[in-house]
């Protein structure tokens, strides 16, 4: 097995600081104190790969220099074959989309069996652009803020497992959205993901599905949850999306469609909140509730589109999941990918989802 491995080191930096993406916003993200997310995700992937090397003697890892693969491979105890170095990195420590595309071109020339990349939808689109007519399968390790495309594994460890065990592929879509519209909080229909490419992807249970919009009414769910909130004295953190937005509308809140809002004492305390905003508005005593709805089709409640709800935030909150019956039926299992494997393990298992004014349905978080 010959794997081409490339990391977009800035992917996902804008998430926890409320930028909803990093395209064109790296400097702003750093000014807000953002820390790189992709290298840690990449290292977890390679550590999982390395743990299986004894049973896969033919395994070879080809990668790109410095922060685009070489550093995390060395940290994970793997001796990779370096095919090149980012063009601008030596002079100004910047990497670009051109570096990602060039690395993929070299992977194709090297005749790898799989291209494993770390990033988000924008990175996936860059990989697909460089693939051109090549049919080499690709697999994403989710590290971006926007991860709508159906080419990503559920978590880094899943990517490693799929990479060394898959035996067939299928055609899957890469989609991306207008980040400026996403940041501006336009209505969800205005920022629907746009098709970028169709590529070959390993077939596996732990590769996420494409995003789908739920078509069931959320009126009953919103009414029931809003009534409960009005009777509560806890701080409420509203997740993103139209289902949770319907609850906020019932409370008279001008909600942020694709951001996080914090509500307490009958009014909004923080709109389009960052991780630090949420921590500042909540107590560590657990008198806080997060209300989230899974992404239709994918089933993610944490780890896709809401990195502001970080492990630090989640550990001090009670979690309430809401969804229309139709969305839950089309979604199936739920998933979490918070960036903290210990917390992910704690969150997994059977849980109750509010599907009506009072009705609940039991579903598994995997």
pTM across the whole model: 0.71
Q: How far is CA 15 from CA 18, 26, 94, 234, 285, in A?
A: 5, 11, 19, 25, 25
Token duo for residue 223: 């009414």
Q: Give the chain's radius of gyration (CA, Å).
A: 20
How does strand 349-354 pair with strand 360-365?
antiparallel
List the Cα angle 320/325/331 in 5-degree steps. 80
Phi, psi (rounded to 5 degrees) for 355: -120, 5
pLDDT by residue for the chain (366 residues), tens only, comes to 899 999 999 887 755 544 555 555 555 545 565 567 899 999 999 999 988 765 555 789 999 998 999 999 999 999 999 999 887 655 556 788 999 999 999 999 999 999 999 999 999 999 999 999 999 999 999 998 778 889 999 999 999 999 999 999 999 989 877 655 554 554 444 455 678 899 999 999 889 876 654 445 788 899 999 999 998 899 999 998 889 999 999 999 988 878 899 999 999 999 999 999 999 999 887 789 999 999 887 899 998 889 899 999 999 999 999 998 888 888 878 999 999 999 999 999 999 999 988 888 889 998
CB 320 within 8 A of CB 290: yes
Cα dihedral sign, 173-178-182-186: negative
């Amino acid at each position: 097995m010959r794997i081409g491995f490339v990391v977009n080191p800035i992917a996902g930096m804008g998430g926890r600081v409320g930028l909803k993406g990093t395209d064109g916003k790296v400097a702003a993200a750093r000014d807000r104190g953002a820390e790189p997310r992709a290298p840690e995700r990449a290292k977890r992937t390679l550590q999982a790969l390395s743990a299986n090397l004894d049973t896969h003697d033919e395994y070879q890892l080809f990668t790109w220099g410095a922060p685009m693969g070489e550093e995390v491979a060395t940290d994970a105890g793997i001796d990779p074959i370096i095919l090149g170095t980012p063009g601008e990195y030596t002079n100004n420590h910047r990497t670009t989309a051109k570096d990602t595309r060039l690395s993929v071109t070299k992977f194709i020339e090297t005749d790898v069996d799989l291209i494993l990349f770390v990033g988000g939808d924008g990175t996936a689109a860059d990989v697909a652009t460089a693939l051109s007519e090549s049919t080499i399968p690709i697999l994403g390790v989710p590290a971006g803020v926007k991860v709508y495309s159906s080419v990503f594994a559920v978590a880094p460890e899943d990517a490693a497992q799929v990479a060394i065990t898959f035996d067939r592929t299928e055609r899957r879509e890469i989609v991306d959205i207008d980040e400026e519209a996403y940041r501006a909080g336009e209505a969800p229909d205005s920022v629907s993901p746009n098709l970028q490419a169709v590529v070959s992807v390993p077939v596996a249970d732990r590769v996420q599905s494409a995003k789908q919009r739920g078509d069931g009414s959320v009126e009953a769910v919103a009414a029931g949850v809003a009534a409960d909130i009005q009777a509560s004295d806890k701080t409420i953190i509203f997740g993103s999306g139209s289902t949770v937005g319907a609850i906020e509308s019932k409370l008279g809140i001008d909600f942020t469609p694709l951001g996080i809002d914090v509500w307490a004492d009958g009014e909004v305390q923080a709109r389009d909140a960052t991780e630090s905003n949420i921590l500042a508005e909540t107590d560590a005593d657990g008198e806080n509730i997060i209300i989230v709805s899974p992404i239709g089709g994918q089933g993610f409640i944490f780890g896709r589109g809401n990195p502001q709800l970080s492990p630090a935030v989640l550990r001090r909150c009670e979690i309430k999941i809401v969804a229309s019956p139709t969305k839950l039926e089309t979604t199936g299992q739920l998933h979490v990918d918070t960036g903290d494997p210990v917390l992910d393990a704690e969150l997994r298992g059977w849980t109750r989802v509010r599907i009506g004014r009072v009705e609940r349905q039991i579903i598994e978080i995997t």
